[in-house]
Structure 1
Amino acid sequence: MVPALFLAHGSPMLAIEQTEYTAFLKQLGKSIRPKAVVIFTAHWETQTLTISSMDGVYDTIYDFGGFPPELYAVKYPAHGSTELANKLKELYEQKGMDVQTEQMRGMDHGSWTLLHRMYPEADIPVVQISVNPYLSPKAQYAVGEVLRGLGEEDILVIGSGVTVHNLRIVKWGETKTEPWAIDFDDWIIEKVQNRDIEALDRYESEAPYARQAVPRAEHFVPLFIAMGSGNPANKAKVIHRSYEMGNLSYLCFQF
């Protein structure tokens, strides 16, 4: 049995840098060895829930610019699983949710930067799923709920995003974390650990500094999906918390 996870993917540089966070991801991969990974990535947005369905090796997508050449040399040759993709599609169809599959898309950095650190040998099949950032937190939670129980089959569900993610106000090279980012994450931690989905559904009006922390929801909503997919009998746990560039959060949860 494996838990569900919300993991921060932050800067693409985590694929090549050696930091406290990359060391955490390495150890996390050693402690959790699933038979497959299902990952909801903030860098794949669709109106209709879309599941990657292929058995071959994913192309590595470099969906960013202005980084060192060595980052673009990183390859993560994980393969997909049409069998698992079809199973997931059927689960959503049984719940009456609109869902489709996609056969050609590669693996974006919301997926491969994390998995490259956790499972560097790329020997675990991966299925990516898109997010719709315009759905409410309650609706995102319901998307995750459909996959509840996959952990009992040793299938790891990951929501890949970031809680505090405002690239317009990050402070390059800053090592001191700004208090407002901490305050926002503190509020999120309390509500998540209490499974207060009603309050989380109102985060835009109730969480401190919500507009600064979440100027757009695509990186935030994987948190609710991961929360919904986890076993509700388990206590939600913070498994890592650190910051870069003044306010970019690397808060991670286990469900």
Structure 2
Amino acid sequence: MISSLFLCHGGPTLVVEKNEYTNFLKDLGKKLNPKAIVIFTAHWESEITTISSLDSTYDMIYDFYGFPKELYSIKYPAQGSVDVASKLQSMLRDHGIESKLDENRGLDHGAWDVLYLMFPKADIPVIQVSVNPELSMEKQYEIGEAIRELGKEDILVIGSGSTVHNLSTVDWNSEKAEEWAVEFDNWLIEKVENNDREVLFNYRQLAPYAKLAVPREEHIVPMFIAMGSGNNHNPKLLHQSYVYGTLSYICFEF
């Protein structure tokens, strides 16, 4: 049983794209049958870790502009879980990490983009969690570490973000990955697979093209949370591909 994943959620169009990454996500979802999913999304930022806590069906958040109309009609009627949300908050509290519950927020595309492809029946409870990009990477890891025991209860933790996420470098007509984007990702992959956490925590100073690849850190911090929550002592890359020149589609299993 995979306990923790980091997934690049790409752009909102991911749900209607047909490529090797969408095929990969569909196949991966068929191999998994978690009791619940806890997903940290880069599209929900808050100073205090905030946990969705509801037993009803989520509303949809279409947090993007100027895309094809069909995307605004996508529905993913996942339900939350008050019990899992409370368990999550208790685990964080036991590790001295402040959190709060939210009963109103809907699912943003950082969550439903990947879940729509992986678990199309929307029959698994989903607990959405915010991120704080102002925290150090060590602190992000500690948030994940605090909830590591969820994996033993067949609750899947997903960090949903991106590695290379600089929209100013995207070329919508490009079919070839930019070398600098691949070089940055390959550096990350090597350090992740070697469990070189201390170097990863300082990726911004050490990784090639780090500031170009990650102008803001909200999309990469879910990777460090997923890393901390994993029970696999041999993390591995499950997928790597690119679209639009610089947009990474990366998946790590932790």
The match for 1:246 is: 245
The match for 1:160 is: 160
CA deviation profile, 1:153-206 (whole Å, cap 9, x unmatched): 110000000000000111112011110001100110111111111111111111
- Mapped contact 1:239–1:253 kept (Cα < 8 A): yes
Structure 2 distance, partners of 1:12, 1:20, is: 16
Letter in 2 for 1:12: P
Partner-residue secondary structure (3-state), 1:149: helix
- Report deviation, 1:97: 1.1
The match for 1:89 is: 89
- Report deviation, 1:149: 2.1
C-alpha RMSD of the superposition: 0.8
Partner-residue secondary structure (3-state), 1:165: coil
The match for 2:20 is: 20
Partner-residue secondary structure (3-state), 1:252: strand
Structure 2 distance, partners of 1:20, 1:28, is: 12
Count of residue correspondences? 254
Structure 2 distance, partners of 1:254, 1:149, is: 16
- Mapped contact 1:91–1:146 kept (Cα < 8 A): yes
- Mapped contact 1:2–1:155 kept (Cα < 8 A): no
CA deviation profile, 1:22-42 (whole Å, cap 9, x unmatched): 111100100111010000000
Residue 80 (structure 2) pairs with residue 80 (structure 1): yes
Q: Identity of counterpart residues, as a percentage? A: 58
- Mapped contact 1:7–1:252 kept (Cα < 8 A): yes
Partner-residue secondary structure (3-state), 1:160: strand
Partner-residue secondary structure (3-state), 1:253: strand
- Report deviation, 1:232: 4.7
- Report deviation, 1:122: 0.4
CA deviation profile, 1:64-112 (whole Å, cap 9, x unmatched): 0111111111000000000000000011111111110000000000000
Which runs of structure 1 show a deviation greater than 6 angstroms over 4 or more consecutive aligned residues? none
Structure 2 distance, partners of 1:143, 1:250, is: 24
TM-score of the two chains, using structure 1 as the length reference:
0.98
Unaligned runs of 5+ in 1: none
The match for 1:134 is: 134
Letter in 2 for 1:119: F
Structure 2 distance, partners of 1:214, 1:29, is: 28
Unaligned runs of 5+ in 2: none
Structure 1 distance, partners of 2:32, 2:236, is: 15
Structure 2 distance, partners of 1:20, 1:67, is: 22
